[in-house]
Structures are given as structure tokens and as C-alpha cells.
Chain A
Amino acid sequence: MSSGDQRLPLTVITGYLGAGKTTLVNHLLRHADGRRIMVLVNDFGDIAIDADLIESQEGDTLILANGCICCSMGGDLFYALSDALDRQPRPDHLLIEASGVADPTRISEIARAEPELRLDGTIALLDALGFAGLVDDAQIGSSVVRQIAAADLIVVSKSDLQSPDALSELKVQVAALAPTARQIEASFGRVPLEVLLGSLSSAEVDEIPQGCANRDHAGHDHAHHDHTEDHEDLYSRWSLSRDCIFGQQALAEVLKDLPAGLLRLKGFVKLDGRWALVQAVGGRVEIESLPRVPDHIKHTTLVAIGLKGQMDTAELDRLFSR
């Protein structure tokens, strides 16, 4: 995204052992869509990246054919993050796969503190079969609860193996721990990239037809997918490009009422005399003033992705035409 925002977006992926973090990371790297993602792994350094993705290895660092890189952070967050920030060229996105018991806020707070980082979101994975047992575990229950409570998005894996009743019970339990987070069911880590990583790629911005009110997912190039995808059926997309100016207060109000099934919303909103960058992940919304926007952005431009059937696109249209 060439919005003049040079900050490195950071996504924290958290979840107990066996929740599917590695699978999710592999899926994400496979579908990096041209982004140079840097993954830092903290689980005793076991970087289990699919062999076919790896091009070469330099010391502790795996270089992937698509330009992504993975390395172990060796338990020292400070140096891992400093090195990522100092890396030339700087990656497009930083992803930290936290250890199974890490408190993700210890990582995400660094992104909030460091001016050159931007917290893109905290994603917690949980195993639909094992979760209830973990929460009650005297030794690790508190860690698991902390992970869920810190999350913006919660990916429930192995949901297809759990009974519908137990699953809905689980969802209620999780919602109580993380009231504003959004829950997604996914098997084999198949969550679309634009849900996991919030930053708008310039390709995505280009895709938004300027001037038309909304569209369904136009379908970016999926030719690179080498396995059958089912995620396209589970998500719906919404976009808006409209020549209108929002008041600061009005925008804040609108963003308070985002529909429940919305996972991410992002884009540029024209305010009186300036621009705002808006990013929502789960229930967390950030509005930031922007000095400038990419040249081809002429007016308010937003995209959203949500769960099909749960994100009311008509509601979104209505909200943003207020």
C-alpha cells in the first residue's frame, strides 16, 4: 500500500499446541499474493514450513521462493523485532507465531508502542475438540484464556469434527471470553489472506471500481492455488467507492455499528480537508489521519470481508450512506 504509511504491519498468531498455527502459517505463505511476509517463530524454533515452499536456507533463516522469509526468534523478542525492522528491504508484513503459552499482548503491545510498527491484529487459533479441556487445565488454562481474550479474530479449527451442539456451546464460551472478537471456522488453516492480514495491497485497491457503490468479490487471481479451495464459499466481500465526505464524529459513530459477521474492514475515508485510514479487525477499529493517499484514490474507498450470511452488506451500504 503506497499511502505513505511506512510502518511495518505486525500480526500475532497465537494458540496452544496443536491448534493449527503451523498449518495456518503454511497456508498463508502459500497464498502470499506477492507480499513479502516475514514469519518469526517462537515455538522452540521449530519452523515447520512445507518443503516445497522453501527455496534456500541461510543459517536460521528460510528463504521461500515467493519472497517470504521465516526465522526462529530464539526467545528474544527485542532482537527479533529489531532485526525485522532493520532488514533491507523491509518485509511487507511481519507475522509472529507466538509460543503455545505466550501472552500475545506482550508482543502486540510492542507494535502499539513502536512508531515503525503497526498492529495489524491478533489471531488466536483454537482446536474445537480440545478447547474445553484446556480452559479447565490448572496449569495452562489461564494462558489459553489470555490468548483468546487478546484476540481480534479467533479461528476455530477442527470444527467439522465436533458435534453441532458442542460447537455452539463452544462459541458461546469463547464469546464470553472475547466479546468483541469474531469467530471463524476453518479446516486446514484455509482462511483467506485478506482476513488474516489487513493491509491493503495495491492490487486490492486497484480492484475496487471507483464510483460504483458495491460489488461482490470480483475474484482476484487464484491461479496460484494448487489445492481445492473452499473458502470462497464461506466469505463475502463488500466494497464502496463513493464521492462523499464524512464528519469525524459521524465516521466514528458509523464504525461503532459494524455488522457482527464483519471480519475486516479497511480503506480510505475522505474527511473535511484530509483523509483517514480506517482499519477494523474483529471488533477493534482504528481511525488514523493520513497525510496523503495513493494517487488513484479519488474518494472514499472501503473494502470489507466477512462471513457469508452473517455480514449484512445491505446494512453496510446503509451505514455508509448515512
Chain B
Amino acid sequence: MQTVIYAARKIITMVPNRPEASHVAVRDGRVLAVGSLEEVAGWAESGQAGSERAGSERAETGSGDFRLDESFADKVLLPGFVEGHAHMMAGGVWQFTYVGFEDRISPEGVLWGGLKDIEAVTSRLRQIESELEPDAPLIAWGFDPIFLTAHRLNRFDLDQVTMDRPIAVIHSNFHLMTVNSMALEMAQYDRNTNVMGVDRGEDGEPTGELQEMAAMFPVMRRLKIDIRSLARTEGGIRAYGKVCHRSGVTTATDLINDLPLEDVELMASITGEESYPARLVPVLNAHTAPAEEIAAQALALREKSTDKLRLGSIKIITDGSIQGFTARMRWPGYYKGPDHGIWNIPPEQLMTTVETLNAAGVHMHIHVNGDESSEVAIEALARALRKNPNPDHRHVLQHCQLADAAQFRKIRNLGLCVNLFANHIFYFGDKHYELTVGPERAERIDACATALSEGVPLAIHSDAPVTPMGPLFTAWCAVNRVTPSGRVLGAAERISVEDALRAVTLGPAYTLHLDHEVGSIEVGKKADFVVLEDDPLSVDPMALKDIGVWGTVLAGRLQPVS
């Protein structure tokens, strides 16, 4: 097999001995050497001797089976980004019309401009409406009322788009939607409806805004808004690959999936194609069966792993969300607003479930948002590990947004990892400061600096599609901690660009037990790179999110975005 030496403006490796380099040699889809041209070229002779000599394309600029590739001469290479917490539906959701505030690029490469007011939203909907089949509902997603403050989107706005077909605009958090009059009619919602979450105006009529599952259920059912299938179809899996690719991600999780066998087979076959642009790590939903069965299922899945599809981990969800007031909070609870803190699993049952799974050697991702749920999860893991010491377990607390320094110390002592929700600082930080948890605790939300200074293995994530996938943006959030109002939320929790880049590469790779294969540019590891248009270490940290992604390299295969 041929060896290619890539020359780059800079290669950021995540390896302490040579954190930066100018050349990387790739053979058999793996990193053969990193360093200067002379250093990596030293492999030429041994390479010729050891290679299969099957390569027919001999480059003009190379000798033997070596080829020097200068296409990245003005680009910056990093290890391919690893998204440690996102969801497959981030791809399939694009079958709906995007109506968010920020510019977004669809998996197909179409730029969807951000919509800055409600008129812009309705005019996009009108345009899409005119192209729809006669009987199809109009479904949109990504709408974020936080940014459109003139008035609350309502059914009258949507009725201006059409009265003749149902419209549902799903908000960016997926917990709310706004629908038009026809959709209300289909759900049989009117002034006599008295259902929690069906918002009503001063005149007593429904406004069109539906909050939470109960209120949304009849509309979702009648409009056939099938969120689950977004992640289960061939189209959904392919679209997710494209979302990852565009954001420079070469390894991505799907952080909760029921993983029926036919879905696993579909994913294995699609990811098995050479052109599928990312490695996938789907994580088994532990809520579908008793712990013993889940353990057996996870271990069986592990055996089904392929080069680009890694299986065997599970996820448990313990509580709700902070912005929804459903996260479990310790004293003194929520700042303003009612405490709707819910457990998704009784703490008692979490103890036994975690114990069973840990004893079976199953790697766990545990969703904890509030600081009471992180406390309970830490305790469950402490007991489980005391009973069945499990060296190198790397169980991960996912989100772990409100952990304090003492919790991080326990987390370190137990050998746990955290994957903090850095994007949340930008998207919800102001709300947390003003409403949910108050100024002091808002400043310690997603406390990356504390995690690092206490020695906790750190990853940061987007939770796409809840917030957009984009590791450079995620890193930007952790580095700057700026909110839309311009506030710096917890200046002492800001981390360096170097640390943030590690938290989107080697950090998450470690949380997935994949750090021996991906996450750094180092001899022997997969040749998975992200190719950037500029150097994240030399741009203004506030410009980090604006660096262009040329594309990726996966196992040595060049994958330009356009």
C-alpha cells in the first residue's frame, strides 16, 4: 500500500513531545509518522521494503511508494473531532424545514440563512409550502423564541402561511411547538380544551403554542411527526454522517438508541461503505429492560463492533433538563420558577442498575443535569465500584452541568469522566443566570476549568440536534463562556484553546475507550484528521468558531466538504 506524506501549514497533534508538526505520513489508513519532512521521510526505505508494492499510482513528487501531497500546504490539521454526545436524529431532522435564528448548513450542503424575525420565518414557510404535495403537512424545526422577542410565534402567524394544510413549527429544544389553526382543529383543541401545555390567550382560545409531550401528542400523531424514525432509516444514518463530516467530526456517538438487531445491521452495512464519512458509536438505551438483560445485550453488541461502528456502551438518563426545571437540584433548588425536578429512574433503582452493569463490565454513560442527580449518580458509581472494582472503567457523567468542585474531586477519585455540555453556556446561560439557577450557580455551569484543575478527564459536547454540532463552536463556548447578552458567564471557568481542542478530540476519545485509536495524530493511530482553513491556536479566541472546515480525512481517505 502506498504511503502519503501530507505537508501542512501546521499539524496540531495532541501529543506532548511534538505538539506541532509540519508533516504526517499515512500508510494503510494509519499514521506512520509525524514530524518534519526529513523525519517522516526516514520511513521511505523501510516503507518500501515493508509495503505490498501494489499501488499503481506513483506520484511525480515521490519516490517508490511514497508520495508527497501538498494539498494541505496552507491548511491546519488536527485529529478528527470526536463528538462524545450527540444524536443520530441530527441528520434526519433536516427532512423538516429549518427555521432557526443562526445560519445552518444542511447535510446536503445548502446554506439555510438564519431567520431574524417572525416575518422571515413565515416567508420561508410560505415558500416551502408552495412546493409541497397537496396532502403533506408542513413541519419545521429549530425555531428559537429566545432570540425572537418581538412577540411569541402564534397560530395567526402560521395561518398567514396557509389555512389549508396543518403546520407545526418544532422549537429548537424539541419540547415545544407552535401550530396553525388547522393543526389545532385536527387535534380537536379549542376554547373548551383544558389540557396542561395547550397555551391559551386572553380570549380563551388556544394560541397555537403547545408545551411538552402531552399537549404535542395529538398533533404529532396526526401529522405523523415520527422523531424516532429520523434515526432509524438509511436516509437518517447517511444524513448524520454528512452532519458530522461538515463539522469536522470523524467519530460521533448516537447517545441513546434501542439498537434492535435490524438497525445494527443497517448501521454496520452503511458505515461499512468506504465513503461513509465517520465512525459511529451508538449507545444502548438501558431503560428498555431489566439491568441483567441490558448487560447481556450490551456485551453481545460489543462483539458486533466493526472498524467504523463501535458498540457495547449503555446510557442511563437520571433526570430532566435545567431549562425545563425538571433537573434534580440540591438545596436551595431553582432560583425563580417552580421546581418540577423529576427522576427518570428511582435513585434506589439507579443504585442496583449501576451495580449490575458495572459488575458485568459494561461501560456506562449516565445523563445527569442537576447537582442532586450528579450526587446520586456519583454515589451509585462509588458503591458499585467498591463492590466490584473495575479498573479502567471510564464511566462517564454526561452533561453534569452543575457539579461543584467537591463533586469533581469525587469524580476524579472514582476514575469517572465527564462530558460537559459547553454549548449550553451560550444557548441557555443567560436564562440560567436570570431565571433557573441564579447568578452564582450559573457561573459554575459546565465547569470545564474546575474539571481540569481537579484532574477529571474532560470532554465537551453539543448534544446535537439540541444545539448544532460543531466542535469548533463547542470549544469556543468553553474558551470564551460568552452568552448572547454579552455576559462572560464564570470567567474563572474559561479554559485555554489547547485544552478546549483536547476536549473535542482526545478527551472524548478517552471517554469512549477509543483513545488508543483516535483523538491524536500519533504513530499507529487511525489517520483521522480534520482539515481547517486557519490555525485555532493563533486566531483570536473569539474567532475560533468562525474557522472554516475544509473537510476531513478518514483512515487516510480525503473527504473535502465541497
Chain A residues in the interface with B (C-beta under 8 A): 16-17, 43-46, 60, 72, 74-79, 81-82, 85, 99-103, 105-106, 109-110, 112-115, 139-140, 142-143
Contact = CB atoms under 8 A, between A and B. Distances in A.
Interface stretch (B14-22, B140-148, B339-347, B530-538): B339-347
Contacts of A109: 195-197, 214-215
Contact of B344 (A75, A78, A115): A75
Contact of A99 (B214, B217, B328, B345): B345
Interface stretch (B270-278, B288-296, B299-307): B288-296
A79 B258 CA distance: 13
Given A45-B287, A45-B289, A75-B287, A140 B347 contact: yes
A139 B349 CA distance: 13
5 contacts: A74-B285, A102-B342, A113-B195, A113-B218, A142-B339
B347 A113 contact: no
Given A44-B290, A82-B221, 16 more contacts: A44-B349, A44-B353, A45-B287, A74-B288, A75-B344, A77-B213, A85-B221, A99-B344, A100-B346, A105-B196, A109-B215, A113-B193, A114-B221, A139-B376, A140-B343, A140-B348
B198 A113 contact: yes
Contact of B217 (A17, A75, A78, A101): A78
A150 B288 CA distance: 25
A139 B214 CA distance: 26
A99 B348 CA distance: 12
B228 interface: yes
A156 B285 CA distance: 33
Contact of A44 (B217, B220, B228, B345): B345
Contacts of A82: 221
A263 to B, nearest CB: 24
B177 to A, nearest CB: 13
B355 interface: no
A72 B290 CA distance: 10
B214 A44 contact: no
A110 B213 contact: yes
Contacts of A79: 228
Contacts of B528: none
A74 B340 CA distance: 22
Given A109-B196, A115-B188, A17 B285 contact: no
The 4 closest A-B pairs by CB, nearest first: A109-B214, A75-B287, A74-B288, A101-B343
Nearest to A144: B346
A232 B84 CA distance: 58
A109 B288 CA distance: 23
Interface-central residue, B196, B285, B317, B346, by most chain A CB under 10 Å = B346
Contacts of A115: 187-188, 218
B83 interface: no
Given A110-B217, A115-B188, A139-B372, A75 B341 contact: no
Nearest to A16: B346
B18 to A, nearest CB: 46
A135 to B, nearest CB: 15
Given A75-B317, A109-B196, A115-B218, A100 B341 contact: no
Nearest to A46: B290
B288 A75 contact: yes
Contact of B195 (A17, A74, A112): A112
A113 B215 contact: yes
A43 B348 CA distance: 12
A115 to B, nearest CB: 5
Contacts of B197: 109, 113
Contacts of B196: 105, 109, 112
